[in-house]
Amino acid sequence: MSYDRELPAIDKTEFLPYSGRKQDPIQRPSANYWQQAFRKLKANFPALISLFIIIGLLLFTLIGDKIWRVDPYAQDLTQISSPPSFNKKALVIPDKIHYQPVYLSNLEDYTVKTSSTGMSIIGTPTTQFIAFKWQPVAGAKGYQIFRHEYLPHGIDDLGVPLGTNDSGDHVSYLDALRLEPIDYFYSVIPIFEEGQLNQYSTIKITAANAIALGDAVGLGIIPKHQKMHYLGKVINLPAHPLGTDYLGRDMLARLIEGGKTSLFIGLVAPLIFVFLGLLYGGISGFLGGKADEIMMRFVDFIIALPFLLFMILFKVAFGIGPGESGIFPMLVALILLSWPSVARLIRGQVLQLKEMPYIESSKLMGAGVFHLTLKHMLPNVTGLLLVTFTFAIPSAIFTEAFLSFIGMGVVPPTPSWGSLCNDGIQTLLTHPHELIFPALFISITVLAFNLLGDGLRDAFDVKTKGERP
């Protein structure tokens, strides 16, 4: 037998990787659990945006007050409940109200008539005060003064009854009751012994925005040493991008301050109860058997407590001492009632993990409890923990807001988004900005954490059974 065919010569180069057309990579670059999760998260657009929003919110509350340097507690009674404003102007007027009540005897030029007419303004009408006088009415034993914000339709529609002058010759009135820079319609009705006649006179007075000299100095708008120079001049008031509240405090500054409270509760409470839950659930699952059963029964009991009812009960039971903000009792109540559901979740996961072959083999190789926990258990529950934590934040924030709504939240002057909402809800009809902004902050925060939670859940591929319905 001869070999007529020779074996082809094999060159070394044949064994080199193909250098022509680039081949599609078949496998993904190797990545561990964390890298994978992070990659999935990066692909989830809403979750990513949410992450940025959350970072933004944290920055807003943490360093917001370094940028927006307005004292959240400083009151400005000249700008109460004012809507967002940037360059509001005000006339500087003296501190003391210069007003002398006008009596009939002071007014020689007025002839006595049978009906009150001829109302006229005294001095400059400003938002600090408006004064006016009228012609006396023969036989009147007094006058009643009304204020309207629209032109009255008739004697039944004169507006707010401001007050009564008890004598017929007292023919002037000083009104300082929370004035806005708008048109006012003042009406006067003479009162007679027999009652009142169907006659009234009305005057329209436009209030100019004004600030008292002392207040302007107090707020630091004008320098103290040359304050007299500004008297009678128009100055710029400090800007309030989100308006002011019922004591003229800057809403933006209060939202920053309130965010500290809300996010503190929202982050710290879940942090602690997730940790407690991890500890309890982990131990319970690890021990197994009778111990596990007893420990879980206890968890069941606490979960059976009606949450909101007990939240209120505990909040009241812990009490708030004088000068305290009420954050601490709320935190404790939240933690006391919330850790068990986390514990239950973790315990389930640990029980599952315990059955895993790699745990078994690790045990066979002599791994101790410490090694098992640190190397195997903990890394495998981290995803679940993170997701649980993220979803716990919105509910903690909501709980704070709810408690504030029923008046059992943080105590003034400490603001929180919830308490700001509660304050704002009273004036929803007239000053909607006082509700809308804090509500918006709560909503955005909750939304962001919810979306991030969704993203994390997908990324870590965990099934959260204990999610709130």
Partner 1 sequence: MPALTKLSVLVFFLSVLLSSCGISKKETALNEKNQEISLALTTEPPKLNSIKSADAISFIILDHLTEGLLRYGPNQQLEPAIAKKWKLTKTGATFWLRTDAKWQDGITVTAQDFVYAWQQVVNPKTASGYAFILYPIKNAESINKGKLPLESLGVKAIDDFTLEVTFEKPCPYFLELVAFMTYRPIRKDLHQEWGRAYAADAETFISNGPFTLTEWVHGAKIVMDKNPHYWDKDSISLNRINIPYITRDPSALFNLFLEEKIATWITPALGSGSIKKALKEHLSLKKFETGAVFYFEFNHRDDRLTHNKNLRKAIQHVIDPYLYTNKVLGIAGNTPAYRLLPKWLIGNKKPLHEEYPLTPVTIDHKIARDYLARAKQELNLTTIPPLYLLIDDGGSNGSLTGEYLQELLNDVLGLTILLDKQIFKLRLQKQYQGEFDLTFSGWAPDYNDPLTFADMFYSQNANNSAQYENVHYDMLIESTYKTTNPKLRAQLFAKMQRILQEDAVIIPLYYSGNIYVQHPRLKGVRRSRTGSSINFSYAYIIPENITLTESNNQPEAMPETKKVMP
Partner 2 sequence: MNHSSAQNTLKKYPLLTYIAKRLVSGLIAIWFIATATFFGMHMIPGDPLSSEKQVSPQIRKNLEARYGLDKPLLTQYGIFLKNIIKGDFGISFTQENRKVNDIIREHFPISALLGLLALFFASLGGIGLGALAAFHKNQLSDHLIMIMVILVVSVPGFVFAALSQLGIMKVNDLLHSNFPIAGFDGITYLIVPAIVLGLGTLAYITRLMRSSLLDIESADYIRTAKAKGLSNGQIFVKHKLRNALLPVVTVLGPAIAGITTGGLVVEMVFAIPGLGKYFVEAVQQLDYTVIMGTTVFYGGFLVITVILVDIFYGWVDPRIQVVK
Residues in contact with partner 2 by the rule CB under 8 A: 293, 297, 300-302, 304-310, 312-314, 316-319, 394, 398, 401-402, 405-408, 418, 421-422, 425, 428, 435, 439, 442-444, 446-447, 450-451, 467-469
161 binds, among partner 1, partner 2, none (CB under 5 to 8 A by kind): partner 1
| Residue from the set 34, 52, 86, 150 that interacts with partner 1 by CB under 8 A | 150
Partner from partner 1, partner 2, none contacting 277, C-beta within 5 to 8 A by type: none
CB nearer partner 2, residue 207 or residue 311: 311
Distances in Å between the Cα of 442 and the Cα atoms of 139, 181, 250, 255, 433 are 61, 32, 18, 10, 14
Pairing between β-strand 120-122 and β-strand 89-93 as defined by DSSP bridges: unpaired
Supply angle C-alpha 345, 466, 337, rounded to 5: 80
Return the residues of window 221-260 that contact partner 1 according to CB under 8 A.
246-247
Residue 442 C-beta: closest distance to partner 2, Å: 6
CA 297 to chain CA centroid, nearest Å: 38
- Among partner 1, partner 2, none, what does residue 427 contact (CB within 5–8 Å per kind)? partner 1
Distance CA 248, CA 421 (A): 16
Region near partner 1 per CB under 8 A, out of 13-21, 193-201, 261-269, 367-375: 193-201
Spatial distance between the Cα atoms of 173 and 165, rounded to a whole number of angstroms: 8
CA-closest candidate to residue 298, choices 281, 275, 323, 282: 281
Shortest spacing between CB 452 and partner 2, in angstroms:
12
Q: Residue 103's binding partner, choosing from partner 2, partner 1, none, with beta-carbon cut-off 5 to 8 A by kind?
A: none
- For residue 407, the minimal CB distance to partner 1 (Å) is 4
Which region, judged by CB under 8 A, interacts with partner 1, from 282-290, 320-328, 436-444, 460-468? 320-328
Interior CA angle at 67 toward 427 and 263, to 5°?
60
Task: Decide if residue 316 touches partner 1 (CB under 8 A).
Answer: yes
Q: Closer CB to partner 1, residue 218 or residue 348?
A: 218
The secondary element (H helix, E strand) that includes residue 64 is: helix 45-67
Under DSSP, the state recorded for 208 is B
Query: What's the distance, Cα to Cα, between the start and end of the chain in Å?
Result: 84
Contacted by 313, from partner 2, partner 1, none: CB < 5 to 8 Å by type: partner 2
Which of 17, 25, 29, 323 is close enough to bind partner 1 by CB under 8 A?
323
148 φ, ψ (degrees, to nearest 5): -125, 160
- Which residues from 374-413 bind partner 1, rule CB under 8 A? 407-408, 411-413
Q: What is the b/e burial string over 16-39, where b = at least 16 CB atoms within 10 angstroms of the residue's CB?
A: eeeeeeeeeeeeeeeeeeeeebee
Residue 429 interacting with partner 1 (CB under 8 A): yes
The least CB distance from residue 97 to partner 1, in Å, is 9
**307-to-95, 334, 341, 396, 397 alpha-carbon distances in Å:** 53, 9, 12, 12, 15
Assign 183 to helix, strand or coil. strand
- Contacts to partner 1 from residues 53-72, by CB under 8 A: none
Give me the least distance between CB of 319 and partner 2, in Å please. 5
Q: How far is the CB of 36 from partner 2 (least distance, A)?
A: 21
* Position among 232, 321, 368, 379 found at the interface with partner 1 (CB under 8 A): 321
Side-chain-side CA neighbours of residue 191 (13 Å): 14
Nearer to partner 2 among residue 75 and residue 422 (C-beta): 422
Q: What tokens does 76 get?
A: 């400005």
Query: 50 contacts which partner out of partner 2, partner 1, none, CB within 5 to 8 A by kind?
Result: none
Contact residue for partner 1 among 73, 110, 275, 398 (CB under 8 A): 73
**By the 8 A CB rule, do 324 and 411 touch?**
yes
